[in-house]
Structure 1
Amino acid sequence: MGISRKATAHWEGDLKSGRGTISTPASGLMQDTRYGFNSRFGDEKGTNPEELIAAAHAGCFTMALANALAEAGHPAESLDSRAEVDLSLEGGPTMSAIRLFTKAKVPGIDEAKFRAVADDAKTNCPVSKALSAVPITLDAELLS
């Protein structure tokens, strides 16, 4: 058996005027964090599924990259990553693109090796695998 993680969602009302909350009870990262139509499709304060997927993807990719660099004999001094998830509204809401960005300080590695390791981490992190139906790009920068 694998590891199981949980989050909860509660919703009241219809799609446009309703409101909900999302929680991650075990970690306490989010406790009844608001989400709704306007935080997803507008600019109202609150979270939305795409933001949460972006956070999960940024975290997963960064951990995969740290591991892959260490296994290649080049442990990272630091990794800073961001994920952006686009939601297309044409033909119904669909995640249409994911862009990963990372800046890395990795002593002793050359640009080509770093890029190969970063590309492999992008392809093989569990969240990338789960989201493989969405085009995923990576902008990886090796800092000196």
Structure 2
Amino acid sequence: MSTSCGHSCGTGAATKRSHPSLWRHEDPNSSSLTLDNVIGNPPAKVESYLLAPGDRLLLHTNGVIEARNPDGVFFALAEAMEAVSTCTPSQFLEQLHRALIRHTGGHLADDAAMIVVDRLDEEAGEPVARAAVARHLEA
């Protein structure tokens, strides 16, 4: 699952089409969750999304999904997430970052920040995401 934490690119319909922000491994066609749902123009109906044990949430800025290669092709975030879906949180972020840099030829035109949150089962113990977030914040 991912959500864009950048600015909206237009109407809700256009945002859903061009920025598939909410993505679940089980349902890649699920509805979008954009920044407009959080601030600015909140929807009349509040939607909640349950993170089940084992789910992963990626928060990212619009610079990630609007990144283009030299031919103008947008970065395929959903495909990149699927390719690294079994990685640890730190590996997941590292591999997505590498894929983004490869895609753009090393030239990002906008900020590209990502945070990953994993929902662990109740018996999993210490959250492994804590170390990954701390390491990426220090970098």
Using structure 1 for the length normalisation, give the TM-score.
0.30
Q: Higher strand proportion, which one?
A: 1
Rg (Cα) greater in structure: 1
Higher relative contact order (CA 8 A, sep 6+): 2
TM-score (structure 2 length as normaliser): 0.31
